Protein backbone atom coordinates (compact mmCIF):
# COMPACT_ATOMS: atom_id res chain seq x y z
CA UNK A 1 0.00 0.00 0.00
CA UNK A 2 1.07 3.58 -0.56
CA UNK A 3 0.42 6.22 2.11
CA UNK A 4 1.43 9.81 2.77
CA UNK A 5 1.95 12.09 5.74
CA UNK A 6 1.99 15.86 5.31
CA UNK A 7 2.99 18.46 7.89
CA UNK A 8 3.10 21.66 5.84
CA UNK A 9 4.02 25.08 7.19
CA UNK A 10 0.87 26.09 9.00
CA UNK A 11 -1.23 28.82 7.41
CA UNK A 12 0.25 32.25 8.02
CA UNK A 13 3.58 30.86 9.27
CA UNK A 14 5.32 29.96 6.02
CA UNK A 15 7.45 33.04 5.50
CA UNK A 16 7.66 33.92 9.20
CA UNK A 17 8.78 30.56 10.65
CA UNK A 18 9.65 28.10 7.90
CA UNK A 19 11.37 30.00 5.07
CA UNK A 20 14.86 28.78 6.09
CA UNK A 21 13.66 25.14 6.16
CA UNK A 22 11.29 24.66 3.22
CA UNK A 23 11.53 25.78 -0.38
CA UNK A 24 8.46 27.84 -1.19
CA UNK A 25 7.32 27.87 2.44
CA UNK A 26 5.70 31.24 1.85
CA UNK A 27 3.19 29.70 -0.57
CA UNK A 28 1.52 28.15 2.50
CA UNK A 29 0.61 31.63 3.69
CA UNK A 30 -2.19 31.24 1.13
CA UNK A 31 -5.15 28.98 1.98
CA UNK A 32 -5.30 27.73 -1.60
CA UNK A 33 -1.92 25.99 -1.19
CA UNK A 34 -3.36 23.94 1.67
CA UNK A 35 -6.49 23.10 -0.31
CA UNK A 36 -4.30 22.04 -3.26
CA UNK A 37 -2.32 19.84 -0.88
CA UNK A 38 -5.56 18.13 0.20
CA UNK A 39 -6.42 17.54 -3.47
CA UNK A 40 -2.96 16.01 -4.02
CA UNK A 41 -3.38 13.71 -1.01
CA UNK A 42 -6.83 12.57 -2.18
CA UNK A 43 -5.75 12.04 -5.80
CA UNK A 44 -2.30 10.51 -5.30
CA UNK A 45 -2.78 8.52 -2.09
CA UNK A 46 -6.08 6.64 -2.28
CA UNK A 47 -4.78 4.01 0.18
CA UNK A 48 -4.57 6.59 2.94
CA UNK A 49 -2.95 9.71 4.32
CA UNK A 50 -2.62 11.91 7.38
CA UNK A 51 -2.32 15.70 7.48
CA UNK A 52 -1.23 17.80 10.45
CA UNK A 53 -2.72 21.26 10.78
CA UNK A 54 -3.42 24.10 13.18
CA UNK A 55 -6.70 23.94 15.15
CA UNK A 56 -7.50 27.48 14.00
CA UNK A 57 -7.55 26.27 10.39
CA UNK A 58 -10.15 23.53 10.73
CA UNK A 59 -13.04 25.90 9.98
CA UNK A 60 -11.86 26.69 6.46
CA UNK A 61 -9.90 23.49 5.78
CA UNK A 62 -12.55 20.86 6.57
CA UNK A 63 -14.98 21.89 3.79
CA UNK A 64 -12.26 20.97 1.26
CA UNK A 65 -12.02 17.45 2.68
CA UNK A 66 -13.76 14.25 1.56
CA UNK A 67 -16.61 13.17 3.84
CA UNK A 68 -14.81 10.03 5.03
CA UNK A 69 -11.98 11.75 6.94
CA UNK A 70 -11.48 11.67 10.69
CA UNK A 71 -10.10 14.46 12.80
CA UNK A 72 -7.73 12.92 15.33
CA UNK A 73 -5.91 14.72 18.13
CA UNK A 74 -2.31 15.01 19.24
CA UNK A 75 -2.48 16.50 22.72
CA UNK A 76 0.66 18.06 24.14
CA UNK A 77 1.42 17.57 27.81
CA UNK A 78 4.10 20.24 27.55
CA UNK A 79 3.71 23.06 25.06
CA UNK A 80 4.69 26.61 24.29
CA UNK A 81 2.91 29.10 26.55
CA UNK A 82 1.47 32.02 24.63
CA UNK A 83 1.09 34.99 26.96
CA UNK A 84 -1.47 36.79 24.79
CA UNK A 85 -3.87 33.81 24.63
CA UNK A 86 -6.04 32.86 27.59
CA UNK A 87 -6.99 29.40 26.29
CA UNK A 88 -3.73 27.73 25.32
CA UNK A 89 -3.22 25.71 22.15
CA UNK A 90 -2.24 22.35 23.63
CA UNK A 91 -3.33 20.08 20.80
CA UNK A 92 -3.00 19.70 17.05
CA UNK A 93 -5.46 18.07 14.69
CA UNK A 94 -4.30 15.25 12.48
CA UNK A 95 -6.75 14.69 9.66
CA UNK A 96 -6.70 11.04 8.71
CA UNK A 97 -8.19 9.19 5.75
CA UNK A 98 -8.16 5.59 4.64
CA UNK A 99 -5.51 3.17 5.71
CA UNK A 100 -5.40 -0.58 5.83
CA UNK A 101 -8.62 -2.28 6.95
CA UNK A 102 -7.98 -2.84 10.63
CA UNK A 103 -11.41 -3.78 11.98
CA UNK A 104 -10.07 -6.89 13.64
CA UNK A 105 -6.57 -5.62 14.48
CA UNK A 106 -5.24 -5.92 18.01
CA UNK A 107 -4.02 -3.90 19.73
CA UNK A 108 -6.34 -1.15 18.56
CA UNK A 109 -5.13 2.39 17.88
CA UNK A 110 -6.84 5.38 19.46
CA UNK A 111 -7.79 8.45 17.46
CA UNK A 112 -5.67 10.53 19.84
CA UNK A 113 -2.22 10.46 21.33
CA UNK A 114 -0.68 12.48 24.10
CA UNK A 115 2.84 13.37 25.12
CA UNK A 116 5.56 15.96 25.13
CA UNK A 117 6.60 17.98 22.11
CA UNK A 118 9.88 17.40 20.30
CA UNK A 119 12.51 19.77 21.58
CA UNK A 120 15.80 20.99 20.15
CA UNK A 121 15.25 19.44 16.73
CA UNK A 122 16.23 22.63 14.90
CA UNK A 123 12.87 23.01 13.18
CA UNK A 124 9.72 24.68 14.54
CA UNK A 125 6.87 22.19 14.81
CA UNK A 126 9.05 19.07 14.60
CA UNK A 127 7.17 16.02 15.81
CA UNK A 128 8.44 13.46 18.37
CA UNK A 129 9.06 9.82 17.56
CA UNK A 130 5.92 8.52 19.33
CA UNK A 131 3.83 10.83 17.13
CA UNK A 132 5.06 9.12 13.94
CA UNK A 133 4.53 5.70 15.48
CA UNK A 134 0.92 6.71 16.16
CA UNK A 135 0.37 8.01 12.61
CA UNK A 136 1.78 4.86 11.03
CA UNK A 137 -0.37 2.71 13.35
CA UNK A 138 -3.50 4.64 12.32
CA UNK A 139 -2.68 4.06 8.66
CA UNK A 140 -1.99 0.37 9.29
CA UNK A 141 1.51 0.70 7.84
CA UNK A 142 3.32 -2.62 7.44
CA UNK A 143 6.79 -3.48 6.24
CA UNK A 144 6.81 -3.35 2.46
CA UNK A 145 4.35 -0.46 2.31
CA UNK A 146 5.41 2.98 1.09
CA UNK A 147 4.75 6.12 3.10
CA UNK A 148 5.77 9.41 1.53
CA UNK A 149 6.68 12.21 3.91
CA UNK A 150 5.60 15.25 1.91
CA UNK A 151 7.45 17.67 4.24
CA UNK A 152 10.30 15.61 5.75
CA UNK A 153 11.65 18.32 8.06
CA UNK A 154 13.85 16.47 10.58
CA UNK A 155 13.16 13.05 8.95
CA UNK A 156 11.31 11.89 12.04
CA UNK A 157 8.99 9.66 10.04
CA UNK A 158 11.90 7.84 8.43
CA UNK A 159 13.50 7.38 11.86
CA UNK A 160 10.25 5.88 13.20
CA UNK A 161 10.06 3.47 10.28
CA UNK A 162 13.52 2.13 11.08
CA UNK A 163 12.37 0.83 14.48
Task: Give the strand pairing for 70-78 and 91-98.
Answer: antiparallel
Query: Is residue 102 predicted with pLDDT exceeding 90?
Result: no
Between 29 and 103, the more confident residue is 29
Max CA pair span of the chain: 47
Q: What average pLDDT score do residues 88-104 get?
A: 88
- The span from the CA of 14 to the CA of 44, in Å, is 24
Q: What's the confidence (pLDDT) of residue 7?
A: 92
Residue 67's pLDDT band, with cuts at 50, 70 and 90, is very high
Q: What is the mean pLDDT of residues 38-53?
A: 97
pLDDT of residue 83: 77
Q: Over 70: is that where the pLDDT of 1 sits?
A: yes
**17: Cα separation from own chain's centroid:** 17
The Cα 157–Cα 58 span in angstroms is 24
pLDDT digits (tens, 9 = 90+) for 104-157: 777 889 999 998 887 776 666 778 999 999 999 999 999 999 999 998 877 889
Over residues 15-28, the pLDDT tens digits come to: 777 666 677 877 88
Proportion of the chain above pLDDT 70, given as a percent: 91
Quote the pTM value: 0.88
The pLDDT of residue 123 is: 64
Percent of the chain with pLDDT strictly greater than 90: 58
Is the preceding omega at residue 90 within 30 degrees of 0, hence cis?
no
Amino acid sequence: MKFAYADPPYFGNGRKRYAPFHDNADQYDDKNAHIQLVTKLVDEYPDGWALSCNPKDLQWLLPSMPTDIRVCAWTKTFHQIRVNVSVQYAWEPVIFRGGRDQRHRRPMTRDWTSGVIAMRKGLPGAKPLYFFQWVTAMLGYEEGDVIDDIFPGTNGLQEALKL
